[in-house]
Amino acid sequence: MMNVSELAKRAGVTGHTVRYYARLGLLKPHRDPRSRYKKFTESDIARLQFILRARSLGFTLSEIAEIFRRSARRQTPCPMVREIIGRRIDESAVQLDAVLALRERMKRALVLWETMPDQVPDGNAICALIEAARDSHDGH
């Protein structure tokens, strides 16, 4: 048995993370009857590593909780896992396209700004650089 800080150290996370996952029910510590401290077992390390691996794949904590529920009922979570990842791939493609478009707008603005002098706001303009940068979002 180990305490919060020992589990956190072995898993490479903070004690706050361990306590948070326990509060959400993702980890199931035992209470030491003498000290009332939360105690964890080797299976909690495996469970915490699973949580960290799932998080690194983009699963939310509620999705991880559902995976645990299905597994505890001896129902395969695999179809749900595949569906979530498929949807996330599509979502990430949309997000990536938006980030790449933003990057291109920023690059165009920087090229434009290389030839522009710094200007003091005159009451009509806030920042001439930003106001000079036109893109599809402002109708120009």
Task: Tell me the average confidence (pLDDT) per consecutive run of 10 residues in the chain, 140 residues long.
Answer: 93 96 94 84 94 96 97 96 96 97 93 86 79 63
Q: Residue 38's pLDDT is what?
A: 87
What pLDDT, on the 0 to 100 scale, is given for residue 47? 95
- pTM for the whole structure: 0.74
Residue 22 shares a structural domain with residue 66: yes
Verify that 38 and 20 share a domain, yes or no: yes
Q: How many domains does the chain have?
A: 2
pLDDT the model gives residue 140 = 44
Q: Do residues 90 and 49 both lie within one domain?
A: no
Q: How far is it, in rounded angstroms, from Cα 92 to Cα 11?
A: 28
Query: Domain residues for 45?
Result: 4-75
* Sequence-separated (6 or more) residues with CB below 8 Å from residue 58: 85, 88, 92
**pLDDT the model gives residue 93:** 97
Q: For residue 52, which of 80, 21, 85, 29 has the smallest C-alpha distance?
A: 21
Domain boundary among 39, 58, 75: 75
